[in-house]
Chain A
Amino acid sequence: MHSVVCIKQVPDSAQIRVHPVTNTIMRQGVPAIVNPYDLFALEEALRLRDQLGGRVTVISMGPTQAEVALRKALSLGADDAILVTDKAFAGADTLATSYALAAAIRQIGKELPVDLVFTGKQTIDGDTAQVGPGIARRMGLQLLTYVSRIVEVAPERREIVVERRAEGGVQVLQTRLPCLITMLEDSNRMRFGSLPDALRAARQEVRHWDKTAAGIEDVTKIGLKGSPTIVSKVFTPSPRAEKAEMIAIEDGSPADLAAALLGRIAARFPGVEKELAQRA
C-alpha cells in the first residue's frame, strides 16, 4: 500500500488575536502547527502501512517554512515528504490548490503507484473542506468524505470498505482503489513518534518541488490566475446597536446577581419565560 497524505501548515487559530484598534491580524507569536484534522488522516495511513506494508508519503503546498510541518509528519512515522512550493502558487483558492496538488500526486505516482490519497476533513484556517473533493475530481478518483472508520482493505482485489458519516446515519461504502479519503476527527488517536523516527526526521531530505517538478501543465490554472474567487474585503462584524445590559449589584452575592438576571430575562424576553414555564 502506498498512501499519500496531504497536510497543511496552519496558524494555531486558537491563538490568533485581532488588534482591537487597527482590526488587523496579529501574527507575531502565533505558532504554526500541522492542521489538526490532517493528523487523523496521517495516523490512518500509518496504520494501514503497519498492517499491510508499503509506504506513506506526505505532501504539502505552501511556503518554504511549511517544511517544518512535513518534518513533524516524518517524525510521526511518514516515510517520505514533498513540499510543493513556488511563487507561482501564491494567491491560490481551493480550485487552484487542488489542481496543483493533483498534478504533484500524479508525479509521486510515477515513482511509486498510489493506492490511497488521504486528507483531513477540512483545515482550521480555511474551513472549506473543498480541496479533498477537488483533488479526487481532478485525478478521477472515487471520493469518500467524512470517513469515520476503514473497515477493510483488500489490496489483491483492489477494494476498500469504509464507514462514512452521512446526514442522519452512517453509510457503509465499498469502492475501488485508488481512491481519496477525507478522515473525520476523533476517528483514531495519533501515535507518539518514536525516537528513531525523530532522529530520521531531523536529517532526512524534504524534497522541494517547484511548478515544473510538480508536473504543472497549465500555468493558467494555478495561483491567483487559476482562482475563480477573490476576497473583496476583510472586516470585523459591527457590534449590535445596543450593547449587553450588564447585571451588577454593589456588594451583591452571586445569588443576588442570579435573581436579578432572572427578573430581567422575564421582563424583556417573554418568549424565554414561556419556554421556561413549559419546563417547570
Chain B
Amino acid sequence: MSEPTAPVKKKRKVVLDQRLQAYRGVWVYIEHERGRVHPVSLELLGEGRKLADTLGVELAGVVMAGVDAGAEARGYCQTAFEYGADLCYLMQSDVLGEYRNEPYTQGLTDLVNAYQPEILLLGATTLGRDLAGSVATTLNTGLTADCTELAIDPDDRSLLSTRPTFGGSLLCTIVTLNYRPQMATVRPRVMAMPESQPGRTGRIVEHGLLLAEADIVTKVLEFIADDRRDTPQLPFADIIVAGGRGLGKPENFQLIRDLAKVLGAEVGASRPVVQAGWVEADRQVGQSGKTVRPKLYIAAGISGAIQHRVGMEGADCIVAINNDPDAPIFEFAHFGIVGDVATILPALTEAFWVKLKRQASLPPQEEAA
C-alpha cells in the first residue's frame, strides 16, 4: 500500500500585494569568522549572481560586524564584490562584535525593512540557521532550509527552492506565497565555488544600528576556538571513504578506516550507521550531516538514499561497492562493484597501498616547462 506523497496541486500563481512588489534585488548574508569570509557565503554569491541576472536586478552582500573590525569589514565587502556582488550593505556597531541572536536579528531585520530585497540567502551554518529562523519569524515571511537547488519561476519571478523531504527520501520544491523577502538557507559545499574576479569593485551602503550594549540581555563570556586537528574536515576533504549499513557489523567499519588511512582520506558514514552508534555523528555525510565535494568518494555498503546522495553527489568521481545490484547508488556513481564489501575493501586497500608505494619509489616526474 502506498499513498500519494502530496495532492497534485495546480500551479498556484503568486499575486503580490502592491506593497510587496516594491521588493527588488537578491541579497546574500556575508558570514565571517575570525577575519575571513566563510566559504559558504562565496558559494552563495555565485548562486545569487545567477538569480539576480535572471531577474535583471542587483546582487548585494550584507556585512554585519563589530566596530573594532574596522577596515576588515570593508575587506569582507571587497571579497563579496570579487565574487559577484554589485553592492554591499555594511552595518557596524559595538553590539555586533561576537555573533548573538538578538542584535543580529534586529540589524538584519532593519536592513530588510529599509532596502526591501525580494530574495535573502544565508548559509545553513549554526549562525545562519539561528539568524534566518529569527529574522523570518520577525518579518513574518517564508524560509526554506537546506536548499539543494535554487531557480526563478519565469512566469512570476518567484524563487523555487528545492530541498530533500521525508527524511531525504524525495525532493520537493517550495515557493513563498504573498510574502517577501523569500528566504532560503543553503549548506556549505552544496553550491560550486565561483571564480573570483580580482579587482572587481562595487559600492558600499552604510547603515547604522540603534542598539546599545545595555539593551542586550545575552552576553558572550568566552569563545573557545576549536582545535582544527581534532575535528574532521570532511566538507573540504579531497578523498573520502564512507561506510554504510551494508558493512554488516560495527567491527567491519575498521575496513573503512584502513582504506582511508592508506589513502590519507577522511572517513565518512551514512546516517543509519551513525544512528546505530558505529561511528561518531560528525562523520555523517548527507542531508542531516555534512555536504562534501571531494575529488574521490568511495561509498561501501551505502545504498544511496536521497538523504545521502544530496550530501555527496558533488564529488568528481564516485565509486560504489554494494552487494545489491539494484541499489540506487549505482544510478549516480561513476564506478560500481557488486559484491561483498567485507572482501572487496581489503583488496582495494591492498591495491591502493601497492600503487602509492610504487609511485613513491619512482623518481619525481619532471613537469613540462
B-binding residues in A (CB < 8 A): 10-11, 13-14, 16-19, 22-28, 36, 93-95, 98, 122, 124-130, 132-134, 136-138, 142-146, 161, 163-176, 185-186, 227-237, 239-240, 243-248, 253-255, 257-259, 261-262, 264-265, 268-269, 271-272, 275-277, 279-280
Contact = CB atoms under 8 A, between A and B. Distances in A.
Contacts of B18: none
Contacts of A134: 133-134, 136-137
Contacts of A269: 295-296, 316-317, 334
Chain A, interface SS category: mixed
A261 B174 CA distance: 40
A129 B350 CA distance: 43
B288 A124 contact: yes
A272 B316 contact: yes
Contacts of B351: 255, 258-259, 261-262
Interface of B: 1-6, 9, 11-12, 31, 33-34, 38, 98-102, 105, 125-127, 129-130, 132-134, 136-138, 140-146, 160, 164-179, 217-226, 238-239, 263-264, 271-272, 275, 281, 287-288, 295-296, 306-307, 309, 316-320, 329-339, 343-344, 346-348, 350-352, 355-357, 359-360
Contacts of A185: 281
Contacts of A146: 126, 130
Given A13-B307, A142-B218, A279 B337 contact: no
A26 B218 contact: no
A143 B330 contact: no
A257 B146 contact: no
Contacts of A175: 217-219
Contacts of B6: 231, 233-234
Nearest to A16: B169
Contacts of B333: 244
A247 B322 CA distance: 12
B218 A137 contact: no
Contact of A22 (B2, B105, B239): B2
Given A13-B169, A16-B167, A239-B331, A247 B143 contact: no
Q: Which 3 interchain pairs have the tightest Cβ spacing? A: A13-B167, A133-B133, A254-B347
Contacts of B130: 133, 143, 145-146
Contacts of A268: 317, 334
A280 B5 contact: no
A43 to B, nearest CB: 16
Given A145-B129, A275-B238, A186 B281 contact: yes
B216 to A, nearest CB: 9
Given A230-B12, A230-B175, A258-B348, A142 B317 contact: no
Given A14-B272, A145-B101, A255-B347, A244 B137 contact: no
Contacts of B176: 228-229
B46 to A, nearest CB: 20
B366 to A, nearest CB: 14
26 contacts: A26-B2, A28-B1, A95-B143, A98-B137, A127-B288, A130-B143, A142-B218, A161-B221, A169-B225, A171-B220, A171-B222, A173-B100, A173-B221, A232-B11, A232-B173, A239-B332, A244-B318, A244-B329, A248-B338, A255-B351, A258-B350, A261-B335, A264-B335, A271-B317, A279-B264, A280-B359
